[in-house]
Amino acid sequence: MEYSHVVVFITIDTPSNAQKLADKLLSARKGACVNIIPKVSSQYWWQGKIEKADELMLVVKTRAALLDELITAVKQNHPYTVPEIIALPIIGGNPDYLA
């Protein structure tokens, strides 16, 4: 099954960087809506050891057709070497909102 819309999760380091990235994605029309969740406690493997960081989470709603462009835009404007960019299909929702 092919999905027309996706939700994309992106973690980032500071409120300022989160706002800048959200502004870039929205102004370039790579996302229709960006939520910034202020406090995410992340624990992850990086370069052979477990790291811990306080981050913010961007939740981006967009069309699946824009995902590759969104990924490129994030990589060009994100402070991390390997940013988290994870897309999940939207399997349903308010048709008025999705339009």
- Residue 68: pLDDT above 80? yes
Q: Provide the pLDDT for residue 23.
A: 98
Tell me how many domains the chain contains.
1
Judge whether 82 lies within some domain: yes
| Two structure tokens written together for 4 | 């027309």
Q: What is the DSSP letter of 64?
A: G
pLDDT-derived band of residue 99, with 50, 70 and 90 as boundaries? confident
Judge whether 99 lies within some domain: no
pLDDT-derived band of residue 98, with 50, 70 and 90 as boundaries? confident
Judge whether 70 lies within some domain: yes
pTM, to two decimals: 0.92
Residue corresponding to tokens 């050891």: 49
pLDDT-derived band of residue 62, with 50, 70 and 90 as boundaries? very high
Judge whether 28 lies within some domain: yes
Judge whether 12 lies within some domain: yes
Domain CATH code at residue 90: 3.30.70.120
